[in-house]
Amino acid sequence: MRAGRLAFLVGAARGLLRREPPPDAAYAEDAVDPREYDATPHPRAEVGVAALLALGGLLCAAFAVLVVAHPDTQLLGATLAAGLGCVGAALALASKRVVPQEVHVEEREPVPPQVDEALAAEARAGGEGISRRRVIAGAAGLAGCGLLGALAVPITALGPNLDGAPDRTPWRRGRYLVDPDGERLRAADIAIGSFHNVLPEGDPRALEELGAPVVLVRVDPRSLDLPPERRTWAPEGILAFSQICTHAGCAVTLFRYPVSEETSKPPALVCPCHYSTFDVRRAAKPVFGPAVRALPQLPLAVDGQGFLVAGGPLSGSVGPSWLDVRQSEGGA
């Protein structure tokens, strides 16, 4: 029995690896002369072509009138498409029924090898009488490198180096958090299970800076699981993170907050681009999706009047990773 199965496997493998047999006889060179010529007139087709051309012309003219008089997109599209279609159909019909139908034969003209030999010889002749070939070749190589450099380097004028930019954000200790209308946020106004889009106060260019947008959420403070050095960063369970996804840079605008966590999912921020999911209670650690780095966290404090203020800079580099990006403290 085992030998039979083995034989089957061997046979299947052989079948798979079998080399292709040569093309069959049906492809052998055919000596039949395929040329044809048929100039029979088809008067009805000719009338048809004329009618289609006329109709097409009228429809295109109608389109031109509509552009000036009543440029409704659907009407314009319908008339122009119908006009073009009629003229196109007329030409197609003409090509198949009106003009002479011909099958013609052309012989191919491959490039004769003697030409290439002559070409190579011609090129070589250009070097007759040159004595110091290697010196000239070396110098030419130097010139080439220099020229290439001269052509390529101006590209660097296109822009500044990123050097440290993802770590230079407008957030620093004492910067107030404001909503999109510019109003400061009170800690007492942040309900558990809500999320807020936040910007740094007094920054007119906030929406031109990747580090500026922050998302604020509030969870039950007893459920927090932050690393020890961040215990004070989330007063009353209010958490703030950079809103720019650390995978590819989209804005993280989905906040998942369950009514009943035990029969559904834990609270998380989710990015709509590739569904990277960040567990907010564990400092936005990624728990699903392609993101590797946690969202940088903004330490929060509450001032004397109850307003939310940043307690320091963001915990890590904002946005998509590159070489110099360090892992967020306590992140993935």
Minimum separation from the CB atom of position 230 to another protein (A): 20
Q: Are 262 and 256 in contact (CB under 8 A)?
A: no
74 vs 131, beta carbon nearer another protein: 74
CA separation for the pair 249, 211 (Å, rounded): 11
For CA atoms 96, 97, 98, 101, give the dihedral sign: positive
CA separation for the pair 104, 99 (Å, rounded): 15
291 vs 310, beta carbon nearer another protein: 291
Minimum separation from the CB atom of position 142 to another protein (A): 26
27 vs 305, beta carbon nearer another protein: 27
Q: Please count the CA atoms within 13 angstroms of the CA of 332 that sit on its side-chain side.
A: 20
Q: Are 100 and 38 in contact (CB under 8 A)?
A: yes
DSSP reduced 3-state for 242: strand
42 vs 265, beta carbon nearer another protein: 265
First to last CA, the chain: 54
Minimum separation from the CB atom of position 120 to another protein (A): 18
Minimum separation from the CB atom of position 82 to another protein (A): 8
Q: Please count the CA atoms within 13 angstroms of the CA of 305 that sit on its side-chain side.
A: 5
Minimum separation from the CB atom of position 236 to another protein (A): 15
- Element of type H or E holding 230: none
33 vs 128, beta carbon nearer another protein: 33
276 vs 299, beta carbon nearer another protein: 276
Q: Which of 235, 244, 148 is nearest to 188 (CA)?
A: 235
Minimum separation from the CB atom of position 263 to another protein (A): 5
2 vs 35, beta carbon nearer another protein: 35
Radius of gyration of the chain (CA): 37
232 vs 327, beta carbon nearer another protein: 327
Minimum separation from the CB atom of position 109 to another protein (A): 8
What are the structure tokens assigned to 110, written together? Answer: 């491959």
Question: Which residues make Cβ contacts (< 8 Å) with residue 97, sequence separation at least 6?
Answer: 42, 45, 48, 49
Minimum separation from the CB atom of position 242 to another protein (A): 10
CA separation for the pair 176, 302 (Å, rounded): 10
Q: Which of 233, 236, 232 is nearest to 222 (CA)?
A: 236
Residue with tokens 């927090």: 224
